[in-house]
Amino acid sequence: PRVMAVYGTRPEAIKMAPIVQALQGSAVGVDVVVTGQHRHMLDQVNAVFGIEPDADLDIFAHGQGLEAVTSRTLDRLTPVLREREPAAVIVQGDTTSAFAAGLAAFYLKIPVIHVEAGLRTPTIWSPFPEEGNRRLLSRITTLHLAPTPTARDNLLREGTDPASIAVTGNSVIDALLTTAGTSRPIADPTLAATDLDGRRVVLVTSHRRESWGEPMARTARALARVADSEPDVTIVLPLHANPRVRDIFVPALAGRANVVLTEPLGYTDFAQLTARAEVVVTDSGGVQEEAPSLGKPVLVLRDDTERPEAVTAGTAKLIGTDEQRVVDEIERLLHDAAHYATMANAVNPYGDGKAAARSVAAIEHLLGVGERLPDF
């Protein structure tokens, strides 16, 4: 049998890559179809993992709405599905294109496999549209690859058949562990030219829709204050390609010697930078999961999270985007060693680097060519 993996954004690619690699060496073949979103960042990730897409749907146009993403995904993926007749379609996470790709498969009665299934926030609107996309995907999914027992329990509470769920760990940890340990030279020219010797590094990323505008501006002002009051700290902020992110952070932070703004970093650069950082401040889902497995405390610039495991374990803290609070929480981690140690030493709840093997075993089992592995 042959399955088809469909993805388009950087985080989807990072989480899908270990599974695609493992499928390539399994009894199940895999075709890779990209949607064309985040094209440059996606190419970088595929290159790191040696993946060459078999088809590119080229769905994304500047300024198009979610309805256009949905309808274009349906229009362009359906003929590819008809032609290649995959035994199942694999999608990851909660983007609108992942949901629409699942829907295209569902309409052709092709089983849907959902990677990172079962994440939930309390209301369907938060974050919009991801929470809705997640819930909609769950209803048309045949095999739920849940990253953690918490995610499995969310699915069970909604009446999902337990036999359709495998708990795999999160494949982002597989990607990270195979990447962070490599000591490849830094590729980004700005980062490569930055001397971090003896510096305390605060790594920041912020790009989510819910942070756009005033919340992001408050974060930017808080970072400027930390930079000005902490001369031995270097804040490194890889900027997302989205101009809504750049237009806020660049004017607020440019011109400071101890703030480094870079282009989106390739995955090997970013993984090595995370390993080098003392504190991670982020609104990203993937970064929230990665940092704890490198023993880094994470301050989450959001009011709720579909990833409560690290908050419960104590390695992550939800701090929102109040300017004073962001300053205080960073300062506390920089100066309160006991507090720092408590967060840094908590156990990473997201995976053990074997999520891809468990996922592939569950996929083989679904397709009748193998046996499942025990849950994570």
Q: Which residues bind ligand UDP (CB under 6 A)?
A: 10-11, 14, 172, 205, 207, 238, 264-265, 267, 270, 284-287, 290
Q: How far is the CB of 41 from ligand UDP (least distance, A)?
A: 7
Q: How far is CA 78 from the centre of its chain?
A: 26
Q: How far is the CB of 22 from ligand UDP (least distance, A)?
A: 18
Is 131 a residue of the active site?
Answer: no
Cβ count within 10 A of residue 135 = 16
Looking at the Cβ atoms of 51 and 110, the one nearer to ligand UDP is 51
Of 139, 209, 244, 372, the catalytic one is 209
Pairing of strands 112-115, 88-92: parallel
Of 10, 38, 114, 130, which residue is the catalytic one? 130
Q: Which of 12, 31, 116, 283 is catalytic?
A: 116
Q: Cβ(216)–Cβ(248) under 8 Å?
A: yes
Catalytic site residue from 72, 134, 199, 240: 240
- In the structure encoding, which two tokens stand for residue 160, read together? 């999902």
Question: Of these residues, 12, 31, 94, 306, which one is catalytic?
Answer: 94
Q: How far apart are CB 283 and ligand UDP at their closest, in Å? A: 7
**Contact of 98 with 91, CB cutoff 8 Å:** yes
Q: Is 207 a catalytic residue?
A: yes
Does the active-site annotation cover 240?
Answer: yes
205 three-state secondary structure: strand
Give how far Cα 300 sits from Cα of 190, 216, 317, Å. Answer: 25, 13, 6
Is 209 part of the annotated catalytic residue set?
A: yes
Q: Could you tell me which of 112, 96, 82, 83 has the C-alpha nearest to residue 35? A: 96
- Of 111 and 118, nearer to ligand UDP (C-beta) is 118
Straight-line distance from the first to the last Cα atom of the chain, in angstroms, rounded to the nearest whole number: 26
Q: How far is the CB of 176 from ligand UDP (least distance, A)?
A: 7
Q: Is 116 a residue of the active site? A: yes
Shortest distance (Å) from residue 3 CB to ligand UDP: 23
Residue 318 sits at φ, ψ, to 5 deg, of -80, 120
Candidates 10, 38, 199, 207; catalytic one = 207
CA–CA separation, 274 and 225 (whole Å): 22
Nearest distance, CB of residue 86 and ligand UDP, angstroms: 25
Q: Are 289 and 264 in contact (CB under 8 A)?
A: no
Dig out the tokens for 279 from the structure: 């504190």
* Residues with a known catalytic role: 94, 116, 130, 207, 209, 240
